[in-house]
Amino acid sequence: VTAAGVRPVSGPAPDWLFPSFERHTLSNGVQVIACHLADRPVIHVRLLTDGGIRREPAAVAGLGHITGRSLLEGSELRRAEELNEALEVLGARLDVGVAWNGIATHLTMPRSQLLPALELLAEVATAPGFRDDDVRGVVRRRIDETVIQQRVPHTAGMDAFAAAVFPDGARMALPKWGAASTVATLDAGMAERWWRLHAQPFTSTVLVVGDLRDVDLDALLGKTFEPWVTTQPALSPPALDPLGAARRGIVVDLPQGVQTTLCVGLASPPCALADRAALQVATHVLGGYFGSRLVTRLREEKSITYGVNAQMNNRKGSSVFLLTTAVEVPATLEALTDIFDEIASVAGGVGFGDDEVRKAADNLIGRGPIAYKNAAAVADTLQSIVLNDLPDDYVDRHRADMAELTPGQVTEAFRRHVDVDRLAVAAAGPAAAITDPIRSLIPGVFVR
Amino acid sequence: MSTTFPYVQHELANGLRLVVSPDRVAPVVAVNLWYDVGSRHERPGRTGFAHLFEHLMFEGSTNVGSGEHMRLVLESGGAVNGTTSTERTVYTETVSVEQLELILFLEADRMRGLLGAVSQEALDKQRDVVRNERRQRYDDQPYGTAYERLYALLYPEDHPYHHTPIGSMADLAAASLEDVHGFFRSHYAPDNAVLALVGDIDPDHALELVSKHLGDIPRRRDLPTDPEATLTSPLPAPARVSLQEAVPASALFLGYRLPVDDDPTLPALEVAMAVLASGRSSALHRKLVRAELAQQVNAGVDRRVVGASIGIVIAIGRQGVKAGDIEAVVVAEIERLATNGPDAVELARAKSMLERNWLDRLGSLEGRAEEFARSTTLYGEPGEINGRVDRLRAPSAEDVRAAVAQHVAGRPPAVVEYAAIGEGVAA
């Protein structure tokens, strides 16, 4: 039977729910989340503790990051080389990432090595080394890395974007991992105090995701993390992030640049759980995927970019709407005008249409099973649930919410959160060529 | 830890090879359609064409409108992409199992009848998109053209690996509709492709669907022969490019010609590269990163099918450190390996790291589908992927020492070195 020209019609996607996971609490208060995914031979473990970026005073911006990286420099029992060798002989990898609301220590290993790798993670977390020379080395390396990041258009643009959307002097206005000037002030004593203040059993969670057949996780964690003793009382939550008041524009001069990297957006008060679905769909329609308005306009119709990205980053202290793209230098003003026009058409114009909302929502809903078949993605989302205090059924609930949305709800939510008059722009590219064009839209734009 | 990922393989009457591997974690399937054409098959003056052509594959076909393929996949949340390397062009979709038949229809439609739908306008548009991709990913990034320069040193000018898949701006500008037609007719055919399906699917049902949609596409039979790619390994003489650019720090890109992918010594060389720079306790991490000469160092083997693979060491310098200082340390470590071989811990560590990385790759449906397609195309044997851990585990310390002595130590390297403006290049 030839099928040429006869297009099949797909049935509805099978019912799907986020992979089930179990929670329990160790006797010392450590929360445990275990998620079994068959035939995923590499286990993903995350130790989630307090002490993220939102806890940092601006003067020590980067302290959470330096603290986390210093964990990799060894424990009380062994120096960095010995620790890393012990991990790597197991095929294990240990990394630390600092998030807005916590420090996430990532451990991966083949499932056969789960116990010895967990023992090393517990050793690092409960008896960290924080030796003076090791932390000094981490600080020096981080400062050198900032030099590179300032020359990479995307990271340079993102650092400037933070400065454009948050008020001067605020922690959030500084680069995510701190500025060279603040990182330079950090030392081992500060890192050790930061870790001991924030990494306590009763505020920590251990996630384990992968093929857990025949794994006695209770026994493994009882042996590794249950002996961890509380030494500090709980901290009150950090204050909400202060927000920038007016439209701002910042240009980062990359004189040799052949493109302009544009970051457009703003920070707004934290998004209510009920608004999350609508805001995700709104940003998706604008620039979140191939079918979005701005991908169509800037890439498919005008061919002035390779791609566009849009997202709403929901943190506990604020929500950040962000749209990024990189365009040919001569097209900088044209692209920026198109971006502003699209946002304004929603914020002050006709709003979102039925067809585009339905398509964007269907895309996001359909992504569920496709995204969460791999262990790393499941671990990422469980981490987000823990660090952002989201309900355990967040993914399923969020998908159901998106299915019910009307264009009016999406438009209204977007208007509540995105004030066009406060939109900020950060641009990384050759300042001599792009500053004046940007000034025609944002008169106060300056080069830094 | 060997892997035992199951698979079933078939070859259709028109030469299309199919590999199906069930995985029941979620009701989805990863599709990987691997065409045996990459930048190594491009003709002189048309570098970048395989990749540009990949973009055009989304511009519509006989029964599918421009951009519709992508829209149909995305409407229900699927992931869709195309990628081009030196060896191949791959089209991937990850979709709900209910969408699999639609995907097979879409892939069949463009395999059967792309040409009528590709217009000059579509070509011009995608050419501009690709130019912007080149600017964004290569020209506008520090060290972004390093690989291009390294390949050009490692392979002679007329060699198919001399250039990278992104191609040159001039060659992209020269591409014509006639080139598009010729390329499609030469390379896009069922007997030049492998289709791998990994996911929640029964192999018999998969074969039925694939036969229905792709089984009647005529085989090409007269596929072009691969371009001549024989090389003597190693490089006949050292080759070096020293650059002084507005980069943030010095950098070293060091490459050696190594044997091709199926050479029995290649696993030992992969282990050697992991001994050198995979992980924080590797030899070069200790001597460069911890010693504060480099911010980062990586090493690996770029496995190539013909001519020569590449052993690569890459290091970005700390502020004020010259690339030559880094190179001296790298060369000394290579010499040590060639003389003493790795010690027992180094050997165990390197093998474990390689194994973990490989298991991580196979742990994703997309990674497994790609590896099934690769091993089927290159070796006619999908099960090759399940044996890779054993092959990486096999070399002894002496095997590693001997392989480094034979293929790396004292052999002429290709070097691309960067100095930040004002630093000076030479050590």
- pLDDT tens digits, one per residue of A352-402: 999 999 999 999 999 989 989 889 999 999 999 999 999 999 999 999 999
> Which secondary-structure segment (H or E) carries B404?
helix B397-407
**Spatial contact of A244 and A166, defined as CB atoms under 8 Å apart:** yes
> What pLDDT score does A5 carry?
66
Distance between CA atoms of residues A339 and A329, nearest Å: 16
Give how far B275 is from chain A: nearest CA, Å: 11
Give how far B255 is from chain A: nearest CA, Å: 23
> What pLDDT score does A255 carry?
92
> What pLDDT score does B426 carry?
45
| Average confidence score pLDDT of chain B | 93
Kindly identify which residue of chain A lies nearest to residue B348, measuring between CA atoms: A89
Q: Is it the case that residue B107 has pLDDT exceeding 60? A: yes
Q: Testing the interface with B: which of A43, A138, A280, A370 to mutate, by most B Cβ within 10 A?
A: A370
pTM of the full structure = 0.91
> What pLDDT score does B423 carry?
63
Q: Summarize pLDDT for B343-396 with one digit per residue, the tens.
A: 999 999 999 999 999 999 998 999 999 999 999 998 899 999 999 999 999 999
Query: B1 vs A304: CB contact, 8 Å cut-off?
Result: no
Beta-bridge partners for A95: A106
Find tokens 């590999």 and name the residue. B19
**Spatial contact of A263 and A157, defined as CB atoms under 8 Å apart:** yes
Give how far A28 is from chain B: nearest CA, Å: 32
Cβ contacts of A106 on chain B, cutoff 8 Å: none
Cβ contacts of B67 on chain A, cutoff 8 Å: 300
Over residues B214-232, the mean pLDDT reads 89
Look at B323 and A6; give whichever has higher pLDDT. B323
> What pLDDT score does B427 carry?
38
**Closest to B136 (Cβ–Cβ): which among A8, A84, A326?**
A326
pLDDT band at A349 (very low <50, low <70, confident <90, very high): confident
Q: Is it the case that residue A1 has pLDDT exceeding 50? A: no
Over residues B254-281, the mean pLDDT reads 95
Conformational region of residue A117, where left means phi above 0, alpha means psi within -120 to 50, and beta covers everything else: alpha
**Rounded to whole angstroms, what are the CA distances from A431 to A426, A435, B420?**
12, 5, 21
Distance between CA atoms of residues A336 and A349, nearest Å: 18
Task: List, as ranges, residues 234-263 from A with C-beta within 8 Å of B.
Answer: 255-259
Half-sphere exposure of B264 (CA within 13 A, CB side): 4
> What pLDDT score does A4 carry?
62
Q: Is it the case that residue B422 has pLDDT exceeding 80? A: no
pLDDT band at B268 (very low <50, low <70, confident <90, very high): very high
pLDDT band at A112 (very low <50, low <70, confident <90, very high): very high
**Spatial contact of B273 and B345, defined as CB atoms under 8 Å apart:** no
Closest CA relative to residue A226, chosen from A194, A204, A198, A193 = A204
**Closest to A370 (Cβ–Cβ): which among B77, B279, B280?**
B77
ipTM of the complex, rounded to two decimals: 0.89
Q: Summarize pLDDT for A49-98 with one digit per residue, the tens.
A: 999 999 999 999 999 999 999 999 999 999 999 999 999 999 999 999 99
pLDDT band at B305 (very low <50, low <70, confident <90, very high): confident
Find tokens 């789960």 and name the residue. A114
> What pLDDT score does A77 carry?
96
Percent of chain A whose pLDDT exceeds 90: 85
Q: Is it the case that residue A329 has pLDDT exceeding 60? A: yes
Q: In what order do the strands lie in the sheet with B251-258?
A: B239-245, B414-420, B251-258, B309-317, B294-302
> What pLDDT score does B1 carry?
64
pLDDT band at A245 (very low <50, low <70, confident <90, very high): confident
Query: B132 vs A303: CB contact, 8 Å cut-off?
Result: yes
Q: Is it the case that residue B404 has pLDDT exceeding 80? A: yes
Give how far B356 is from chain A: nearest CA, Å: 5
Q: Is it the case that residue B153 has pLDDT exceeding 70? A: yes
> What pLDDT score does A269 carry?
92
Question: Is residue A144 within 8 angstroms of chain B, CB to CB?
Answer: yes
Closest CA relative to residue B252, chosen from B211, B295, B307 = B295
Cβ contacts of B108 on chain A, cutoff 8 Å: 3-4
User: Encoding tokens for residue A410?
Assistant: 């999406």
Task: List, as ranges, residues 2-31 from A with C-beta within 8 Å of B.
Answer: 2-14, 16, 19
> What pLDDT score does B282 carry?
96
Give how far A378 is from chain B: nearest CA, Å: 12
**Closest to B292 (Cβ–Cβ): which among A5, A140, A152?**
A140
Distance between CA atoms of residues B259 and B271, nearest Å: 14
Query: A328 vs B132: CB contact, 8 Å cut-off?
Result: yes
Over residues B269-290, the mean pLDDT reads 97
